[in-house]
Amino acid sequence: MSKLKLTVTDIRSETQIVRAITLKASDGEPLPAFTPGAHLKVSIPGQKAPRCYSLVCLDDDPAAFEAPACYHLGVRLEDPSTGGSRHMHSLSVGDELEVDGPRNDFELHEAQINEHAVVLVAGGIGITPIASMAASLKRAGRAFVLHYYGRSRAQMAFLDVLAAQHGEAVHMHADDEEATQLPLNDLLDSVDQKQHLYVCGPKGLIDAVVEQSHGRQWPHAHVHFELFSTPAPQEGDAGFEVELRQSGQVFHIPPDKTILEVLEEAGCDPLFDCRRGECGVCQVVVLEGRPDHRDYYLSEAERDANDVMQICVSRSHSDRLVLDL
Site string for ligand FES, 148-177 (x = CB under 6 A): ------------------------------
Residues in binding contact with ligand FES, number by CB under 6 A: 14
When binding is defined by CB under 6 A, the residue of 97, 278, 291, 315 that contacts ligand FES is 278
88 vs 274 by CB, closer to ligand FES? 274
Instruction: Give the torsion sign (CA, 27, 28, 33, 38).
Output: positive
Strands (E), the chain: 2-13, 18-25, 39-42, 51-54, 71-76, 96-103, 118-123, 144-150, 170-174, 197-201, 223-227, 240-244, 250-253, 283-288, 291-292, 308-310, 315-316, 320-323
209 vs 282 by CB, closer to ligand FES? 282
When binding is defined by CB under 6 A, the residue of 121, 174, 188, 274 that contacts ligand FES is 274
When binding is defined by CB under 6 A, the residue of 88, 253, 312, 321 that contacts ligand FES is 312
- Where does residue 83 fall: left (phi above 0), alpha (psi -120 to 50 degrees), or beta otherwise? left
Shortest distance, position 260 Cβ to ligand FES, whole Å:
7
Nearest partner of 283 among 299, 267, 103, judged by Cα: 299
Taking CB under 6 A as the rule, does residue 297 contact ligand FES? yes
Shortest distance, position 194 Cβ to ligand FES, whole Å:
29
150 vs 231 by CB, closer to ligand FES? 231
Stretch that binds ligand FES, among 23-31, 132-140, 157-165, 279-287 (CB under 6 A): 279-287
